[in-house]
Structure 1
Amino acid sequence: MTTTLAPAIRVQGVTKAFKDLQVLRGVDFEVERGSIFALLGSNGAGKTTLVRILSTLLKADGGTATVQGHDVAAAPNDVRESISLTGQFAAVDEVLSGRENLVLVAKLRHLKDPGSVADALLARFSLTDAGGRRAGTYSGGMRRRLDIAMSLIGNPPIIFLDEPTTGLDPQARIEVWDTVKELADGGTTVLLTTQYLDEAEQLADRIAILHEGTIIQNGTLEELKKLLPQTTVEYVEKQPTLEEVFLALVGPSAAGDTTEARPVNQKEASK
């Protein structure tokens, strides 16, 4: 007889308002254990509010949510022991070295041999060579990797990443993506919020689109693509327009300096 494990995260009918502003209007979704679940939405969609509710930092007005089988409202301490939260900005102490940041968190979690814990995480996140340097000297990608490493101390089964690549350059984003994939490969459940479509496409096993406080679609990338009709490919030979020629010759800054050089469309140019 096989038993089905309960989802790592279950959200049912969650609502939240701030005075007259209704932020969440009945959110429902489930996250399978060991998967990457992307909550995709624009700024103000309610992503961070939902993460704050799931991490017990904020109380919902209605609905229920469980994390690792624990009700976030009734058993917040059990939830906190099961999760780690990485916010939009790296929460590292810039004065301390990378290793000292990790040792500090390990001591706060009352782990045995904090130094060994720190060294293992430095190696796991390719930060060993930089471990003795002040965190304030790290690049954006390194700081974010250190931040995530700090979040994993104590081996929480679930990690919330709230827009983890905000403000990072393309190379740093790829570094963080690789880190997130490694987390899921190791069995960690990841709930990722993002407003970047390519990030959700690269990382997520399932994607939920949060819009105006509700989940309007939820599925795998392939399932979401099937919502639109299949496209047909047509090959059209495109000739440069006079506008393109003009801007290529004089530069876009000069486009507004003359009214006589208004581009004409291709049909007119061929007359």
Structure 2
Amino acid sequence: MTLTLRQPSMLAVMSIPPTTNQVQGPAIHVRGLEKSYKELRVLRGVDFEVARGSIFALLGSNGAGKTTAVKILSTLLKADAGTARVNGFDVATQAADVRESISLTGQFAAVDEILSGRENLVLIARLRHLKAPGAIADDLLRRFSLTDAGTRRVATYSGGMRRRLDIAMSLIGNPPVIFLDEPTAGLDPEARIEVWQAVKELAEGGTTALLTTQYLDEAEQLADRIAILHQGRIIVNGTLAELKQLLPPAKVEYVEKQPSLEDVFFAVVGDADKGSQDRTTRSNKK
């Protein structure tokens, strides 16, 4: 499901104040961010905050400016105007401190397919000059349910496994803030759910995650707060419950619930897996 905004003029005037208690201050603070490419104005005064240890979804269609915002926050691009602070550091004047505080996972898994999963993790740990890189790799393999596949070449991994490994590599060095730029783009339904679970576990461990996505269900499943970026501006920002309050109250009607495609998919896949396991068990008994 991709984002379609039907009434941007109505939402543009609405503002929902943050409700999260931010005693330590926000992990990300953005005010008046602007960026243009020649005549194309990509960001037109973007404002938002991300509480520490939370998942913040920046939701928008293709070309809305999501990736541009992430590049500015991760010091890969300079803004034309406005200010942004990440983990307390200014992205323009304290770029080195920002880079030490963050990790960025792009739209495509940046893993070495020739190496094994464990070797990828060990390599990054060594490049960061960390002690006991092997122990760090083994711990991350356990956290992301990749221990059994750890010695296999990454070329044999599924899309979901590669993305989980990519996120695991991003966590080496325990960065307090991680940027996930459309982390499930191109993944199948099972792989998407695997990545969702990994992101949820990050937040439970205290990591702040800024997630960009164009999938409505992804933002709904993961985010503590959701901001909709449309034509270079944040037109609404709030929790899922707050965003739902922008629409008229729902009418209560009796509707017979039909199974969704997701229900069918996992029921069929589960039955097929169960049948395969039963046949293997019977074969072993013989």
With the length of structure 2 as denominator, give the TM-score of the two structures: 0.81
Q: 1:254 maps to what in 2?
A: none
The residue matched to 1:129 in structure 2 has which SS? coil
CA distance in 1, matches of 2:39, 2:187: 34
Residue type matched to 2:56 in 1?
Answer: F
What are the ranges of 5 or more consecutive residues in structure 1 without an aligned counterpart? Answer: 238-271
When residues 78 and 178 of structure 1 are mapped into structure 2, their CA distance, relative to the original with a 3 A threshold, is same
Shift of 1:231: 1.9
- Any residues of structure 2 matched to 1:170-181 within 5 Å, and which? 170-181=189-200
Any residues of structure 2 matched to 1:256-267 within 5 Å, and which? none
What's the CA shift string for 1:72-107, capped at 9, x where partnerless? 000000000000000000000000000000000001
Instruction: Give the partner amino acid of 1:152.
Output: L
- Indicate the residue corresponding to 2:79 in structure 1: 60
Deviations 1:183-206 (A, max 9, x none): 000000000000000000000000
Distance, in Å, in 2 between the alignment partners of 1:236 and 1:42 is 31
Please point out which of 114, 117, 125 is paired with 1:98.
Answer: 117
**Aligned position for 2:207:** 188
1:219 equivalent in alignment to 2:238: yes
2:59 is matched with 40
Structure-1 separation of matches of 2:173 and 2:252: 51
When residues 11 and 169 of structure 1 are mapped into structure 2, their CA distance, relative to the original with a 3 A threshold, is same
Tell me, yes or no, if structure 1 residue 204 matches structure 2 residue 240: no
* d(CA) in 1 for partners of 2:197, 2:91: 30
Q: 1:223 to 1:3 in 2, by over 3 A?
A: closer
Distance 1:86 1:236, change over 3 A: closer
Moved more, 161-170 or 228-237: 228-237
Equivalent-residue separation in structure 2 for 1:235 and 1:179 (angstroms): 37
Question: Are residue 123 (structure 1) and residue 142 (structure 2) matched?
Answer: yes
Q: One-letter code of the match for 1:105? A: I
Q: Please name the residue that 1:268 is paired with.
A: none
Cα separation, 1, equivalents of 2:220 and 2:88: 28
Aligned pairs for 1:159-174 (under 5 A) are 159-174=178-193
Task: For 1:176 and 1:201, locate their aligned partners in 2 and report how far apart those are by CA, in whole Å.
Answer: 14
Amino acid at match of 1:75: Q
Aligned to 1:145: 164
- Are positions 1:135 and 2:182 aligned together? no
Q: Which residue of 2 aligns with 1:12?
A: 31
Q: CA RMSD in A?
A: 1.4
Deviation at residue 234 of structure 1 after TM alignment: 3.9
Partners of 2:116 and 2:220 lie apart in 1 by: 34
Q: Distance in 1 between matches of 2:23 and 2:115?
A: 45
Paired AA for residue 189 in structure 1:
T
Aligned-residue offset at 1:4: 2.1
Paired residue for 1:29, among 44, 48, 54?
Answer: 48
* Distance (whole Å) between structure 2 residues aligned to residue 92 and residue 3 of structure 1: 35
The residue type equivalent to 1:223 in the other structure is: E
Q: CA deviation at 1:3?
A: 9.0
Shift in alpha-carbon separation, 1:3–1:83, aligned structure 2, 3 A:
closer
Work out the CA distance in 2 between the residues paired with 1:204 and 1:235: 30
Give 5+ residue unaligned stretches, structure 2.
Answer: 1-20, 257-286
Amino acid corresponding to residue 192 of structure 1 in structure 2: L
| 214, 222, 229: which one aligns with 2:248 | 229
